[in-house]
Amino acid sequence: MILKLKDLDSYLMSDSTSFSEKPRNILITGGSSGIGYQALLQLVRQGNRVTFTCRDETTSELISKNLQNHLNQIDISKMTYAPIVDLSDLLSIRKFVKEMLIKDEKIDTLVLNAGLQYTGEKIPRWSSQGIELTFAVNQLSHHFLAQSLLPLLDKSTYPRVVVTASEVHNPNAPGGRFGQPAGLGNLNGLKRGAGFKMIDGISEFNADKAYKDSKLCNVLFASEFYRKLCLRGTPMPVIAWAPGLVIPRTSQGFFRYSRKKNEIGQRIFSLFVRDIFKITESPQRAGKILSDLSTLDRYQVNTFIYYSNVVKGIGKRIFEEAVISKEAQDHDLGMRLWQYSCKLADLPLELCSPLA
């Protein structure tokens, strides 16, 4: 499927009542800002029931209020659920999973979208369990959710998993060529367990590389998850996608986890790539793509697939199926990433059995 920018702009302006797919039960992470919030707006407007995780009560209440203001014809309380989940804390995630399994409501689409990057930092930050924060939030939390909530996906007639990755996972892609490239080596850092600074175990800490590495992990995880689903006899669509470089005009976006000392450089960078060269994507258009990936029937194909919102020139982008990096195609690396992640999160190595 190829969607040109001008077609996407027209679709964004179209009447939402033209949406024809049946409403779905959707769980999305990272729905409080940026791409995730724009996708959340679209999903609720279309009549889907959406669970969106929030890191604290204040955020949960604020996003619910914003949704009600944006969608004043819809009773948000009946269409959404905003549980408190700290994706940097495995205990918080485990508690949330337990609550969801007790509720025992099906999940039609699991959208693993949350992500952070603390640009320019040389000192790592840590999760509650002493895991480097980029890996903990961008990758490990999503592995935990996908594996643990599989019984609820099993309850759906047409289940689907969508993982927000990035082209920076690929050193040969335009976004992956700047700075240190993504590369996981032999996973020696991850293999040692909590306290590793970089996944490869040999690089000095670099926040930008840590982000690229986490996006490479996203693609490897999505591919390995699909492989395990096939071995289990329950294949379903597992979609990884790259939204392009999304830089909104507010602080609640790409650089929101970075320190103030990097602010001037970030503003100059944003000026050039967004306003002069026009190679960025807007949160609204990227959010629309994400909502489509989550709901449209044309994406209900039982395979692993990777899409990218590719820059084709100044102000020109095309959303299309793309090739993942050579390292992301390494099945042995994907299996070992799965094994070490399960050990780190205290998860079983194999997927649970299908529901009876």
How much is the pLDDT for 14?
A: 47
CATH number at 41 reads 3.40.50.720
3 state DSSP class of 321: strand
Cα distance between residue 148 and residue 6, in whole Å? 40
Residue 113 has which token pair? 């979208």
In-domain check, residue 198: yes
In-domain check, residue 351: no
Q: What is the pLDDT of residues 228-261, one digit of tens each?
A: 999 999 999 999 999 987 666 454 444 444 455 5
From 303, 57, 59, 280, select the one nearest 161 (Cα to Cα): 303
Cα distance between residue 21 and residue 53, in whole Å? 24
In-domain check, residue 353: no
How much is the pLDDT for 177?
A: 87
Strand partners, 320: 308
How much is the pLDDT for 317?
A: 74
Question: Which whole-number Å values give the CA distances from 291 to 4, 288, 314, in the listed order?
Answer: 17, 5, 25
Around 175, how many Cα atoms within 13 Å sit in the side-chain half-sphere?
A: 26
Tokens 């689907």 belong to 160
In-domain check, residue 356: no
How much is the pLDDT for 254?
A: 46
In-domain check, residue 142: yes
Local mean pLDDT, 10-residue blocks, the chain (356 residues):
48 43 94 96 97 97 96 95 98 98 98 94 96 98 98 98 97 88 98 97 97 98 98 97 75 49 48 43 91 97 95 74 98 98 96 57
What residues contact 348, with CB distance under 8 A and at least 6 apart? 342
In-domain check, residue 350: no
How much is the pLDDT for 209?
A: 97
Q: What is the pLDDT of residues 323-344, one digit of tens each?
A: 999 999 999 999 999 999 999 9
Cα distance between residue 153 and residue 161, in whole Å? 9
Q: Are the CB atoms for 27 and 110 separated by under 8 Å?
A: yes
**Domain count along the chain:** 1
Q: What is the pLDDT of residues 35-44, one digit of tens each?
A: 999 999 999 9
Q: Which amino acid is at 211?
A: Y
From 356, 231, 242, select the one nearest 305 (Cα to Cα): 242
How much is the pLDDT for 277?
A: 38
From 244, 251, 189, select the one nearest 217 (Cα to Cα): 189
3 state DSSP class of 203: coil
Q: Are the CB atoms for 308 and 319 separated by under 8 Å?
A: yes
Helical packing angle, 141-148 and 90-103, nearest 10°:
20
For residue 193, what are the domain limits?
A: 3-345
How much is the pLDDT for 268?
A: 40
Distance of CA 310 to the CA centre of its chain: 18
How much is the pLDDT for 356?
A: 36
From 31, 146, 30, 158, select the one nearest 97 (Cα to Cα): 146
Alpha helices in 104-206 (DSSP H): 133-135, 141-148, 150-154, 188-192
Phi, psi of 76 (to 5 degrees): -60, -35
In-domain check, residue 354: no
How much is the pLDDT for 8?
A: 47
How much is the pLDDT for 120?
A: 87
In-domain check, residue 163: yes
